[in-house]
Structure 1
């Protein structure tokens, strides 16, 4: 059996930080991205997961902090800068593939690799699974470092304000028990 999931089943969000002497002037961004996942099953146990994120789907949802509220044009500039950092034209997808799935107290531990641009890094994820009666809710949180993938965070004012190296990733999806 194979489960096919996508953005209509949940959300994948990134939250950036701001660092540098002028960090108070910058916005901490919440970014949404479209995704699709395939979960392979053997009987009642998941055996493999592959999640693919569409880089061009990147949307700046909101910005917290900053001197003024984040405007529409500023969201567009932040999106363009993020796509440049990710080299979205050359590398249109971010991919996570498991090499092992192990049962854990609150769900599963997914062990695998994360590929951003042309770099692949080992990545373990604690996937929480909740029984909602008619459906399952799957969720996880992780931190990804720009430096681990050779990405240079966007900066302004000669580095006095820049996107923090670590980006928080949050994923939640629901799947009906039948169908």
Structure 2
């Protein structure tokens, strides 16, 4: 069977990151929901055999903040974006990538074993991708946890570390593709 290549991007779905807040003053901080632009290429030979996802770090947009003493204002969203871009070293490392050439079928979709690269540091990572048949479309989705410390990143902190972004962030992905 000839190889088929799927190309998907942000117009097909969403990739969001949700941060937590840590430290003695954590109740004062906002848990942020961040969106980022992405593009993925999936190569098929009857079944998916490889995939590559690239995330544009500079596209980072703070959608909302939950918790905190008061609501997150537009200037605070801009400051949070600036701090996140600094933490990720966006000028030097403009993309986050996940590559997998070990894809295994599971009951609900596929297990993608591969390499996640953030801030120039690569780590082995496994993602369980759910695939739902919607009739005319396929919906692909997954949730994963990524730790700043695994990639040599120092989460943003303030008040001498009494309030800081938690080490673990939750990543959610969902996209649809016509059959």
TM range (shorter): over 0.9
1:47 paired residue among 46, 49, 62:
49
What is the aligned partner in structure 2 of residue 17 from structure 1?
Answer: 20
After TM superposition, give the deviation of residue 86 of structure 1 in Å.
0.3
2:76 paired with 1:65: no
How many residue pairs get aligned? The number is: 176
Alignment pair present for 1:132 and 2:141: no
RMSD: 0.4
For 2:88, the equivalent position in structure 1 comes to 86
- Which runs of 5 or more residues in structure 1 are unaligned? none
Q: Distance in 2 between matches of 1:14 and 1:133?
A: 29
SS of 1:67's partner is coil
Task: Report the TM-score when normalising by structure 1.
Answer: 0.98
Structure 1 CA distance for aligned equivalents of residues 6 and 62 of structure 2: 29
Query: After superposition, where does 1:1-179 map in structure 2 within 5 Å?
Result: 1-43=4-46, 45-177=47-179
For residues 56 and 42 of structure 1, what CA distance do their matches in structure 2 show?
33
Q: TM-score, normalised by structure 2?
A: 0.98
Q: Report the CA distance between 1:173 and its aligned residue.
A: 0.2
Counterpart Cα distance in 1 of 2:173 and 2:88: 20
Quote the offset at 1:99 in angstroms.
Answer: 2.6
